[in-house]
């Protein structure tokens, strides 16, 4: 470790102002701060600070995503790992490029976006589409707003929607059917190309024609679907962890699930033929993944605590309405983006309401 | 009483309940500034002074505030401070009073001369109360709870000087409005000290007890006053409330009943950089170097961890309103892959480190920022801890784009300066500094508007 520190210290002057590689300072800084905790001191009171930083915060999100990632590899094969590498490489390039141009530090938020992105794609998607999607998402969804913390929309979802609209055929016919063996697809061969076991039938698609997938299959995730979204079990493992450590807002998750379940129950009661029962809707598609990992994105959600309730209710309701009454079988993606659009408005209302009380207390 | 928000971190170095009484040092240093007021020396250079003699004074509307000498000796005038040398430790009491025979005017004058008056806090001025007759408080709050790591604990002082504190409380009705009450704020714990208070004060109808949770910043006067207004229905919105702490009550008793002007402070010396965290009873003016660790690798904060300011221990001395010195190691070693470690040696506001599982204290607390500066990710932690129920993340957004009027509307001035939001921020944003500057700008803007009217 001492040697490593020595190497970094030797390299540092080249990246400081006036050094030969000063332009690439963000890259050096990211590596330096990744390996060793930052040494900046507190300039103002309080002179001691809480140990939590954004690095830790974001790495806990990635830790919580690991069960879903493991499930994706198990059900859909090692190709998912390739998708992740492509996503990190392409998205990382955009992120680094903008950090260098803006002369700011590289932001950890990208590591979460790049991890989530392959998990919300069909596991049989061509790898070049992964690269295009994540680059678009990071560029248009985040960088043009000024980077992490300033973006309006969830960047992973922006990339996903771009692919869904720009390449509809590739996005609806590249699902992979999991195998029934106990070792899943772990031993299945894979390559850079598109796998051959493709299908166009996800549980939500099949339900439109009246065939409901079994609850057990849906719960463990042995169905066709987006790589990390099929296994409710894995999502709950990571999602509950994320709520326990306080990184994900339980208010948002509860609000999404409550409004979704409530409305689905009502719609199923009114139109049992058109709307499948609650358990099916809850376990299929991207609802749980979206509720735990994407609606809880603090940046693109509402700023205020009270606003999180309204935000969650809106997403849950929009998701079931899109699923039931539109041409799309899956609506969570659009629902969350819709929520992102409304988040600033929700905040404004909450702030106005609170301002009245503040005026009284002054 | 309920208080919203707040946080009580586990910090190593909590001072023990034992009170050490070191001998009086050979030199005492008295600053000629106190609570933003400048005092003018009334003695000449080299004059020998008696215990309790007025060293310096300042005129405020209604009276003259004084700095009484904490010991007998020879006074030397220096720039902005006064040094006492050739100290003699003997104490000769000044005039004493009896609570039944003293008038309000005499009480105020004696407290102002004894250096005790600035220990009072008034909701009307958000600082030292006015000395005139007009604004008598409806309620005086005696606060026993000290939650900031680490300020002198109320219960340690109660145990040590209970009889003097009772003496002091008996004078308070002189200052109160008719039918005014004394509200004693303490934790609900039924320990011997609380029992002693209950039984000794049971006979006084004008004294009430109000339990409060043990969470920083419960001792903040503005937080206490807000909580009190919420829990006493009859209290008018504009009725004046005063807040004092236990040391102030003790000082009142000492000053009026025993003729001893403010000459001693009980201070907590603690924190992770302190080898023997303890309480100390020291003469005012005692140099901090006499009890501070000698290492240059340790920062000295005057006040607790949250609000304390860095001081140079070689030059600082205990002043009339100090009650805490926090010793914080300077950060030095950069930890390898720090964010990937389970973190059994640290705890944070969110249960994000393994230290939460074992109940460990935050042993890695140093002067490091402990993270990189990032844009706000609106995680909402600041809103959760805020005791004033405002939304620091929203204020930050407004102030980031210089929208001062919006920030004012969103409750900027309700900030009680507890610094908790800055402490918990994972993006390491200097919220406190930003809010302080914005409030300054707001005041200047108002003064400008006043002038042009």
Whole-angstrom Cα distance, residue A319 to residue A259? Answer: 10
Question: Parallel, antiparallel, or unpaired: how do β-strands B63-68 and B54-60 relate?
Answer: antiparallel
Whole-angstrom Cα distance, residue A151 to residue A140? Answer: 9
The pLDDT value given to residue B133:
65
Tokens 């463990």 locate to A220
DSSP letter for A188, please: S
The pLDDT value given to residue B107:
93
Cα B186 to chain centroid distance, Å, stands at 16
Residues A238-247 have a mean pLDDT of: 96
Chain B residue closest to A34 (CA)?
Answer: B337
Residue among A4, A34, A52, A54 with most chain B CBs within 10 A, to mutate: A52
Contacts with B430 from chain A: Cβ below 8 Å: 43-44
Q: Does B341 touch chain A (CB under 8 A)?
A: no
> A143 vs chain B: nearest CA distance in angstroms?
13
Contacts with A5 from chain B: Cβ below 8 Å: 334
Q: Which residue has the higher pLDDT, A322 or A173?
A: A322
Which of A322, A248, A242, A280 has the alpha carbon at shortest distance from A67?
A: A242
Q: What is the pLDDT of residues B125-179, one digit of tens each?
A: 999 998 876 678 999 999 999 999 999 999 999 999 999 999 999 999 999 988 8
B181-217 residues labelled b (16+ CB within 10 A) or e (exposed): bbbbbbbeeeeebbeebeeebeeeeebebbebeebbb
Tell me the two tokens of residue B64.
Answer: 């003259």
Q: Which residue has the higher pLDDT, A7 or B435?
A: B435
Q: What angle do CA B88, B92, B98 make, to 5 degrees?
A: 155
A48 vs B397: CB contact, 8 Å cut-off? no
Indicate the pLDDT class of residue A362, thresholds 50, 70 and 90. low
Which of A51, A147, A358 lies closest to B370 in CB terms? A51
The pLDDT value given to residue A285:
86
Which of B340, B364, B384 lies closest to A51 in CB terms? B364
Cα B104 to chain centroid distance, Å, stands at 26
Q: What is the pLDDT of residues B20-67, one digit of tens each?
A: 999 999 999 999 999 889 999 999 999 999 999 999 999 998 889 999
> A106 vs chain B: nearest CA distance in angstroms?
10
> B251 vs chain A: nearest CA distance in angstroms?
29
Q: Are B367 and B330 in contact (CB under 8 A)?
A: yes
B328 vs A48: CB contact, 8 Å cut-off? yes
> B272 vs chain A: nearest CA distance in angstroms?
11
Domain ranges in chain A are 54-353
Contacts 24+ apart (CB under 8 A), B51-54: B51/B90, B51/B91, B51/B92, B51/B263, B52/B92, B52/B93, B52/B94, B52/B114, B52/B259, B52/B260, B52/B261, B52/B263, B54/B113
ipTM score: 0.90
- Give the three-class secondary structure for B447: helix
Which of 2.40.360, 1.10.3430, 1.10.357, 1.10.10 is the CATH number of A54-353?
Answer: 1.10.3430
Q: What is the pLDDT of residues A94-151, one digit of tens each?
A: 999 988 888 888 888 889 999 999 999 999 899 999 999 999 999 999 988 888 788 8
The pLDDT value given to residue B57:
94
pLDDT (tens, 9 = 90+) of chain B, 453 residues, equals: 888 899 999 999 999 999 999 999 999 999 999 988 999 999 999 999 999 999 999 999 888 999 999 999 999 999 899 999 999 988 999 999 999 999 988 999 999 999 999 999 999 999 999 887 667 899 999 999 999 999 999 999 999 999 999 999 999 999 998 889 999 999 877 778 888 888 888 888 899 999 999 999 999 999 999 999 988 888 888 889 999 999 999 999 999 999 999 999 999 999 999 999 999 999 999 999 999 998 889 999 999 999 999 999 999 999 999 999 999 999 888 888 888 888 898 999 999 998 888 988 998 999 999 999 999 999 999 999 999 999 999 999 999 999 999 999 999 999 999 999 999 999 999 999 999 999 999 999 999 998 887
Indicate the pLDDT class of residue A193, thresholds 50, 70 and 90. low
The pLDDT value given to residue A154:
94
Q: What angle do CA A96, A100, A101 make, to 5 degrees?
A: 115
DSSP letter for A41, please: B
Which of A1, A44, A298 lies closest to B378 in CB terms? A298
Which of B343, B413, B433 lies closest to A44 in CB terms? B433
Residue among B222, B223, B351, B374 with most chain A CBs within 10 A, to mutate: B374
> A39 vs chain B: nearest CA distance in angstroms?
6
């Amino acid at each position: 470790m001492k040697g490593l520190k020595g190497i970094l210290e030797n390299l540092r002057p080249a990246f400081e102002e006036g050094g030969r590689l000063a332009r690439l300072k963000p890259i050096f800084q990211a590596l330096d701060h990744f390996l060793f905790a930052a040494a900046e001191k507190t300039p103002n009171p309080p002179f001691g600070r809480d140990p939590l930083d954004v690095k830790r915060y974001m790495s806990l999100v990635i830790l919580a995503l690991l069960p879903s990632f493991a499930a994706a590899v198990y059900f859909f094969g090692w190709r998912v790992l390739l998708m992740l590498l492509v996503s990190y490489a392409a998205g990382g390039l955009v992120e680094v490029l903008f950090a260098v141009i803006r002369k700011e530090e590289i932001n950890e938020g990208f590591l979460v976006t790049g991890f989530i992105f392959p998990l919300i794609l069909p596991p049989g998607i061509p790898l070049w589409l992964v690269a295009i999607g994540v680059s678009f998402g990071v560029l248009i969804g985040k960088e043009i707003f000024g980077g992490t913390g300033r973006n309006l929309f969830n960047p992973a979802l922006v990339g996903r929607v771009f692919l869904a609209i720009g390449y509809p055929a590739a996005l609806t016919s590249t699902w992979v059917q999991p195998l029934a063996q106990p070792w899943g697809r772990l031993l299945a061969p894979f390559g850079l190309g598109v796998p051959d076991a493709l299908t166009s039938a996800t549980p939500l698609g099949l339900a439109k024609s009246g065939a409901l997938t079994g609850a057990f299959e849906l719960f463990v995730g042995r169905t066709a679907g987006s790589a990390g979204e099929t296994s409710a079990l894995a999502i709950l493992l990571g999602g509950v962890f994320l709520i326990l450590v306080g990184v994900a807002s339980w208010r948002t998750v509860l609000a999404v699930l409550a409004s979704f379940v409530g409305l689905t129950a009502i719609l199923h009661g009114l139109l049992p033929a058109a709307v499948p029962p609650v358990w099916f809707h809850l376990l299929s598609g991207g609802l749980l993944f979206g509720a735990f990992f994407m609606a809880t994105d603090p940046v693109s959600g509402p700023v205020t605590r009270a606003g999180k309730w309204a935000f969650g209710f809106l997403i849950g309701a929009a998701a079931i309405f899109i699923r039931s009454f539109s041409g799309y079988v899956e609506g969570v993606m659009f629902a969350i983006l819709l929520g992102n659009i409304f988040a600033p408005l929700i905040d404004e209302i909450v702030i106005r309401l609170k301002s009245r009380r503040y005026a009284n207390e002054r | 009483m309920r208080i919203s928000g707040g946080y009580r971190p586990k910090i190593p170095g909590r001072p023990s309940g034992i009170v050490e009484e070191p001998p009086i040092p050979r030199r005492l240093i008295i600053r000629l500034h106190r609570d933003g007021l400048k005092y003018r020396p009334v003695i000449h250079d080299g004059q020998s002074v008696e215990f309790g003699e007025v060293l310096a004074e300042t005129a405020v509307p209604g009276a003259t505030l004084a700095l009484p000498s904490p010991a007998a000796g020879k006074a030397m005038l220096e720039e902005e401070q006064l040094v006492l040398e050739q100290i003699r430790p003997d104490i000769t009491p000044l005039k004493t009073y009896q609570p039944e025979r003293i008038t309000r005017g005499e009480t105020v004058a004696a407290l102002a001369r004894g250096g005790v008056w600035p220990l009072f806090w008034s909701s009307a001025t958000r600082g030292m109360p006015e000395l005139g007759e007009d604004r008598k408080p409806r309620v005086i709050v005696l606060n026993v709870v000290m939650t900031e790591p680490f300020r002198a604990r109320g219960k340690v002082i109660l145990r040590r000087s209970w009889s003097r504190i009772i003496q002091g409380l008996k004078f308070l009705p002189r200052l109160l409005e008719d039918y005014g009450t004394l509200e004693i704020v303490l934790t609900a714990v039924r320990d011997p000290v609380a029992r002693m208070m209950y039984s000794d004060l049971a006979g006084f109808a004008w004294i009430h007890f109000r339990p409060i949770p043990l969470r920083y910043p419960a001792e903040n006067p503005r937080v206490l006053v807000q909580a009190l207004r919420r829990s006493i229905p009859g209290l008018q919105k504009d009725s004046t409330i005063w807040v004092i702490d236990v040391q102030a009550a003790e000082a009142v008793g000492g000053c009026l009943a025993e003729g001893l002007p403010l000459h001693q402070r009980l201070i907590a010396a603690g924190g992770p950089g302190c080898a023997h965290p303890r309480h100390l009873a020291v003469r005012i003016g005692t140099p901090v170097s006499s009890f501070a660790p000698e290492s240059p690798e340790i920062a000295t904060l005057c006040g607790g961890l949250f609000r304390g300011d860095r001081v140079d221990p070689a030059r600082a001395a205990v002043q009339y309103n100090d009650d805490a010195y926090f010793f914080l190691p300077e950060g030095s070693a950069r930890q390898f892959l720090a964010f990937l470690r389970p973190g059994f040696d640290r705890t944070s506001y969110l249960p994000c480190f393994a230290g939460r599982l074992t109940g460990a204290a935050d042993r890695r607390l140093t002067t490091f920022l402990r993270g990189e500066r990032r844009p706000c990710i609106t995680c909402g932690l600041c809103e959760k801890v805020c005791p004033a129920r405002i939304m620091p993340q929203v204020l930050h957004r407004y102030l980031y784009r210089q929208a001062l009027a919006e920030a004012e509307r969103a409750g900027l001035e309700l900030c009680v300066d507890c610094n908790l939001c800055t402490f918990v921020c994972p993006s390491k944003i200097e919220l406190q500094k930003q809010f302080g500057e914005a409030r300054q700008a707001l005041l200047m803007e108002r003064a400008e508007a006043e002038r042009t009217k």
